[in-house]
Structure 1
Amino acid sequence: MREFAYQRTTQIRDALSSVARHDGARFLAGGTNLVDLMKAGVESPARLVDIRSLALGGISESPDGGLVLGATATNSAVAADPLVRRRYPALSQAILAGASGQLRNMATVGGNLLQRTRCAYFADPSEPCNKRAPGSGCSALGGAHHNHAILGWTEHCVATHPSDMAVPLTAFDAVVRYETLDGPGEVPLSEFYLPVGDRPDRETALPDRALITAVVVPAAEVAGKSRYRKVRERASYAFATVSVAAALDVQDGVVRDVRLALGGVASRPWRARLAESALRGGPVTAERISAAADLEVAAAEPLRDNGYKVTLARNLIEAVLTDLAASSGAASGGAAGNGAAGAGEESDG
């Protein structure tokens, strides 16, 4: 690890000024991703500005009944918060499905959203990677990619976004608040992550040297009827092969509202708007759930070794929505289909 300067700050303005004054400066919160990348030689900041003493660790109710999650609130604190568990259970479940207890005690809300891909080629400076070194190529395209993207990728990058937390936040229309030296701003999470395009190194719409201060989750009645399910290659402490955050509100047998987002399938959390539109406003039946799942994965473009993800994503969507419909007492038309239950069983943990 190369030598770097370290600075603590207690004021947002001081933190922003310090990063603006020093080339190569980075904000440091929990450091669970950044420090690993520094050790691997992928990141080499000249200065770390420690923001853990800023007053950004709160978790509170917003005026509309939603949530305001401070950027430095730890993952453990968010997962255990009574408001989160009661009003947004899928968010709590997603956090608990990610990493270990020790890491959740250190990792923060803002850092979680900004974590980099876990593609092995990105983490190895000896390998070409357009996300790390633009224009060098994508080693995963013709290499080891069994756990890479099936949606939204380009020939420039086929990596996936690793966050569990960001998947339900995407489904619940969360908004990212930030501060710059020019003042505050905000961006919907649906627009926060940029499409891969031909510059996969440009990952977010966050302004240069901006500091995330909070994530706002709007009030949504449907969010209280939500679930997160994750399939991974081992029982714990593994990134998602495919994950689903879903919420379903059924009144008199009709889908009043539905939210659906996928993890592990694209460079960003994937909002399943096609499936949502296919279900919203109609009866909740096994046939319609199955058709909605088919519709969402129809645009998938699997690589040589990850075609299994298409079937897995489709079955997981079906399984989670079927379970939610059954728990609401609104399911009709029989079981959701062969294979869906198996996908759900693998994801428990």
Structure 2
Amino acid sequence: MRTFSYVRAPDVETALRAVADEPNAKFLGGGTNLVDLMRENVERPDVVVDISRLPLTGVEELPGGGVRIGALVRNSALAAHPLIRTRYPVLSQAILCGASAQLRNMATVGGNLLQRTRCLYFYDGASACNKREPASGCAAIGGFTRNHGVLGVSEHCIATHPSDLCVALAALDAEVEVESTRGTRRIPLTGFHRLPGSTPHVESALEPDELVTAIELPAPITERSRYRKVRDRASYAFALVSVAAALETGGGTVTAARLALGGVAPKPWRAVEAERVLLGAPATEESFRAAADAELAAATAQDGNTFKIELARRTIVATLRDLTSDGSAT
């Protein structure tokens, strides 16, 4: 691990000033991802700004039925919060599917947004990785690709985003509030993470001197929502495919739909084509299959992850079927 300077920020203003002129600074919240990456010599910050004591730990109801979530709310606390469990069950379920209880007790919501891929080649300093070293190549292409992406990938990177929470946030139309010494701005969650294109190392719309301070959720379209995660083992495993879905029906027809996928793309994947097919369609398995087919039409696979396309199709259909068969939100 390289030598670095450490700053403990007592307030947001101090934290922002500490990174204003330090392009290679990093904020430290729960540390569940950053510390690991520093140990592996993947992240090499010159300055680490400890923000763990900032007053960004509230979960507040907003006028109109939405919720504001402080960036330093622990994942476990958010999953258990009554407002989240009742209004956004898909979010609570997604969090509880992620990591282990010990990690959820430490990990923060803001940090979860910014966690980096778990691609084996990204962590292996002996392998070519355009995320870790721009223009070095992508050893994953042609390598072991079981856990890699089939949507939104490029010839420069096929890694997947690891978050469960962010998949639910994408389906819920969340917005991310960020601050810098220049002021405050809001970024739709669906535009917060970037696809790799030719610059896989640029992973988000966040500027180096900006701090995530909160996430806001609009009032839910329905309380009937669900998160389904398919993985190699029952706990502490990243998704092969996951689906976050919220569905409202009336008279046997889909009147509102929100759908996002995880484990299949370099960012939480909002399934806009599937939503387009679902809206106004009969709430039947045939419609669900048509929606899944529309979303996955552009999927491209490597030799080792072709199965993900069919797995994603079946997981989408099963999740939507569950929401219409029992009408529950749990």
TM range (shorter): over 0.9
Could you report, residue by residue, the CA deviation over 1:18-77 in whole angstroms, capped at 9, with x for unpaired residues? 112445221100000000000001011122111011111111111121111100000011
Q: Output the CA distance in 1 between the equivalents of 2:124 and 2:318.
A: 37
3-state DSSP of counterpart to 2:163: coil
Q: Output the CA distance in 2 between the equivalents of 1:281 and 1:88.
A: 23
Bigger shift: 124-133 or 281-290? 281-290
Report the TM-score when normalising by structure 1. 0.92
3-state DSSP of counterpart to 1:260: strand
* 2:135 paired with 1:126: no
Partner of 1:285: 284
Could you report, residue by residue, the CA deviation over 1:161-189 in whole angstroms, capped at 9, with x for unpaired residues? 00000001000110000001010011101
Partner of 1:60: 60
Q: Output the CA distance in 2 between the equivalents of 1:260 and 1:14.
A: 39
Partner of 1:299: 298
Change (3 A) 1:284 1:23: closer
Q: Output the CA distance in 2 between the equivalents of 1:136 and 1:30.
A: 31
* CA-CA distance at 1:221 after TM superposition: 2.9
What is the alpha-carbon root mean square deviation over aligned residues? 1.1
3-state DSSP of counterpart to 2:140: helix
Q: Output the CA distance in 1 between the equivalents of 2:39 and 2:208.
A: 24
Partner of 1:253: 252
Partner of 2:230: 231
Partner of 1:78: 78
3-state DSSP of counterpart to 1:221: coil
Matches within 5 A, 1:1-349: 1-22=1-22, 24-222=24-222, 224-328=223-327
3-state DSSP of counterpart to 1:139: coil
Q: Output the CA distance in 2 between the equivalents of 1:214 and 1:23.
A: 22
Could you report, residue by residue, the CA deviation over 1:318-337 in whole angstroms, capped at 9, with x for unpaired residues? 000011011239xxxxxxxx
Q: Output the CA distance in 1 between the equivalents of 2:21 and 2:45.
A: 13
* CA-CA distance at 1:157 after TM superposition: 0.1
Could you report, residue by residue, the CA deviation over 1:210-250 in whole angstroms, capped at 9, with x for unpaired residues? 0000000111232x110000011111000001000011101
Identical positions, percent = 55
Query: What stretches of structure 2 of length at least 5 have no aligned partner?
Result: none
3-state DSSP of counterpart to 1:167: helix
Q: Output the CA distance in 2 between the equivalents of 1:287 and 1:154.
A: 31
The answer on whether the counterparts of 2:171 and 2:258 sit within 8 Å (CA) in structure 1 is yes
Q: Output the CA distance in 1 between the equivalents of 2:324 and 2:272.
A: 18
The answer on whether the counterparts of 1:286 and 1:322 sit within 8 Å (CA) in structure 2 is yes
Query: What stretches of structure 1 of length at least 5 have no aligned partner?
Result: 330-349
3-state DSSP of counterpart to 1:122: helix
Letter in 1 for 2:159: A
Q: Output the CA distance in 2 between the equivalents of 1:22 and 1:192.
A: 22
The answer on whether the counterparts of 2:179 and 2:210 sit within 8 Å (CA) in structure 1 is yes
Q: Output the CA distance in 2 between the equivalents of 1:81 and 1:262.
A: 24
The answer on whether the counterparts of 1:16 and 1:181 sit within 8 Å (CA) in structure 2 is yes
Letter in 2 for 1:312: L
Q: Output the CA distance in 1 between the equivalents of 2:23 and 2:87.
A: 42
The answer on whether the counterparts of 2:71 and 2:215 sit within 8 Å (CA) in structure 1 is yes
Q: Output the CA distance in 2 between the equivalents of 1:43 and 1:195.
A: 20
Letter in 2 for 1:229: R
* CA-CA distance at 1:194 after TM superposition: 1.3
Report the TM-score when normalising by structure 2. 0.97
Runs in 1 of length 4+ with deviation above 4 angstroms?
A: none
* CA-CA distance at 1:112 after TM superposition: 0.1
3-state DSSP of counterpart to 1:38: helix
Letter in 2 for 1:56: L
Bigger shift: 310-319 or 286-295? 286-295
3-state DSSP of counterpart to 1:318: helix
* CA-CA distance at 1:124 after TM superposition: 1.3
The answer on whether the counterparts of 1:250 and 1:328 sit within 8 Å (CA) in structure 2 is no
Letter in 1 for 2:122: F
Q: Output the CA distance in 2 between the equivalents of 1:188 and 1:21.
A: 26
Q: Output the CA distance in 2 between the equivalents of 1:263 and 1:99.
A: 15
Could you report, residue by residue, the CA deviation over 1:297-342 in whole angstroms, capped at 9, with x for unpaired residues? 111101111000001000000000011011239xxxxxxxxxxxxx
